[in-house]
A and B are shown apart, each in its own frame.
Chain A
């Protein structure tokens, strides 16, 4: 009680056992005195705090990632988000950020006083060469992936065009063979025959036959040439035809690709941004910029036409669920700029912002999981139930009467101990909104249950100490904000809340826990108050 508490109330306040909490607090204090750096890691009492030591291999990978030039250009929050997704704890991420301007893996900061470093060092060497390629390509893969996709498409194009060209050239060579080579062969055969004839005739008249021969040869050559020309023309024509056909084909493919691109764009617009880690950060940036640029005043349908992509969840394209047809129609309509006709002007502002809430009719009930922890709570709710029950029906007998006609259809299968106030609920539900005679009488005869026994003597003492303050209910969380003027009021607020809690049929467990938390807090306030 007289000990000075260092500000770390988180770890011990959740323990429901009030008696042990004090011991744990003292033990914790001893721990903190021994270790000068009171990091969260040294106080493992709360299970909701990460108590793992910093992993050196993760930190070194993170440092490599953060040192990458592309990563350096991205906003800090996305770097942090990426590392968080990789499973690094806050401490590891902070450590990596600290190290980035001076990436020396041998430096070990003072906070790394945890065990297991020797073990991790040996595994670092085996893991590091495997893991180092991972963070680096992780960022550029996003950019590369789009390139490979395009490249694949290019290859596809290339393949198709290559096939087409091959076909065309094949046809052309076939034609060439048909049209040119065969005539050439024929010519050659004719030549040979002619030569033979000429040879035969040469012996008779050599000179004039030479000239004739030459003329004949020239004629043949000319014929061959003309044939070749014809053949080549035909080949050219066929090639042209092929080329035209091929171009048409290519145009069709282009059109199809365009359609597919536009479809994928529209799908992407609907999806928003895919959150797979492979994406480059620049994509994320653009999306956020467009999302945040939409105006806020989209009540009553007066929205800037640019419907923010965040309204539908991101999905990998392969796993997109089939949206209802009318949903797609509405999306398209809105993206085109048309407003759906069924939107009305609605004024949903409160007519009286200071309107008092109505008095509650029913005390809060214990939850089923709280009821399991102790039978006392059920008894408490029973006493309040008896107060509420007007008609003199013994509430203990209510749930024994399992008459088919009296229990509603939704309760027929299950009768549980928490359903003591069945009849009341049915009546209360029936009299909703209308102040019947029942309700004022309910409040009159309601007997507040006894306050729970005091679990923490320090808290009780603190409660008994008078503090003057303006009447104002405040949350315990406000203590995090340093407002010295509000401290006395907060103590009284705690007192009010303690009395409130005791009024309600809350679990003693809860009260115990609350009181425990309060005592720490109250002690803090005491100390700071005394210190002032």
Chain B
């Protein structure tokens, strides 16, 4: 399985929704504490287990997340630690990039999500406690959602209802929002500690998973959100990111500060179905390909990006 070495510490990896072999990687220098950042666009060579870098973009501050546009195959957005977001177009020459700088957040932008159904808007989650809604053709945000009492770490669009999204925050709650409503429509006090990531189930639009510093992942049904549907324990430290599978109804993947990437089937009694411990530092980014079933990628503070097929060893040659 191929490995890509980044000069900076990895923070996020995302598959392109247009090209099966393309990924974007967000990295930050000095573990993201202080320093520059870089966005890599990498490609899996079809000839062998090699990863090529197509292009890289440097930023003044660390990049915490990256998201591909769902409407333009060559466009991606990067969330930068200085509160701005940079829009890149890989089809333009490198000198023309970035094509936009969207600066409104008062603090670091930590999460991004592009609308997969309506394809024209995206959300940014920031440590200034707010979530903002943007489109590529406007320099200013369309909406600001300010209700959380602490940093918002992650946002996720509902895969079926194009106006509904969820936000996970350090105030230990997950809020469900509707862009047509002024405020949140539901508050799920999911954990006793900070919630670092949330994601909707792609096949059941009422199920949402939350990952927390308390090392657990909980699956919630919004119709009955007082009690979780399932609690997934198994990580040794905080769970940093989760993603439901775009191909399997009950499967989700998670990465954690315990340096492992875990695969779960939450409808099964023994939910942990796979564990990959290829990283040697915090595993902070993981993604499942929408186009290729079973293809997954992860990155961590050990400055490596792995791409592998589910069931195979990421470190195998």
Contacts and interface: CB of A to CB of B under 8 A. Distances in A.
Contact of B33 (A321, A331, A357, A372): A331
Nearest to B149: A81
A22 interface: no
B79 to A, nearest CB: 13
A13 interface: yes
Contact of B119 (A16, A414, A480, A504): A504
Interface in B258-317: 258, 281-282, 290-295, 301, 307, 309, 311
Interface range on chain A (Cβ under 8 Å from partner): 35 or more
Interface in A71-98: 77-78, 80-81, 84-87, 89-90
B187 A410 contact: no
A389 to B, nearest CB: 16
Interface residues of B, number: 125
Find the residue from B95, B116, B160 having the highest chain A CB count within 10 A: B160
Contact of A10 (B95, B178, B226): B178
Given A310-B151, A314-B194, A432-B43, A84 B20 contact: no
Nearest to B301: A324
Interface stretch (A62-70, A180-188, A230-238, A470-478): A470-478
A200 interface: no
Contacts of A89: 187
B238 A348 contact: no
Interface string A492-532: 00000100000010110010011001000000000000000
Given A425-B20, A478-B142, A357 B136 contact: yes
A156 interface: no
A519 B72 CA distance: 27
B59 interface: yes
Nearest to A340: B30
Given A296-B82, A315-B238, A414-B292, A307 B34 contact: yes
Given A300-B61, A358-B91, A475-B142, A47 B222 contact: yes
B186 to A, nearest CB: 5
A349 interface: yes
A46 interface: yes
A48 B223 CA distance: 7
Contacts of B161: 14, 48, 513
Contacts of A414: 292-295, 309
A369 B222 CA distance: 19
Interface string B69-88: 01111110000111100110
B20 A410 contact: yes
A342 interface: yes
A48 B186 contact: yes
A116 to B, nearest CB: 15
Interface string B132-175: 01011101001100000111000000111111100000111100
A298 B33 contact: no
A493 to B, nearest CB: 11
A350 B262 CA distance: 38
A16 B31 CA distance: 45
B250 to A, nearest CB: 13
B276 to A, nearest CB: 16
Nearest to B187: A84
Given A300-B60, A334-B33, A369-B203, A47 B307 contact: no
A50 B162 contact: no
A504 B17 CA distance: 15
Contact of B189 (A78, A84, A506): A84
A477 B180 contact: yes
B189 A87 contact: yes
A508 B106 CA distance: 40
Interface string A274-286: 0111000000000
Contacts of B179: 475-477
A49 B176 CA distance: 8
25 contacts: A9-B180, A16-B160, A84-B189, A299-B61, A299-B82, A300-B60, A314-B193, A314-B213, A315-B213, A319-B213, A330-B33, A348-B58, A351-B95, A355-B89, A357-B72, A364-B70, A367-B246, A367-B290, A368-B202, A409-B48, A410-B295, A425-B18, A432-B43, A497-B120, A514-B162
Given A90-B183, A310-B107, 20 more contacts: A16-B160, A48-B161, A48-B164, A48-B178, A275-B172, A299-B82, A313-B170, A321-B258, A331-B33, A344-B58, A346-B60, A350-B87, A353-B100, A358-B74, A358-B91, A361-B73, A364-B71, A365-B17, A408-B21, A425-B21
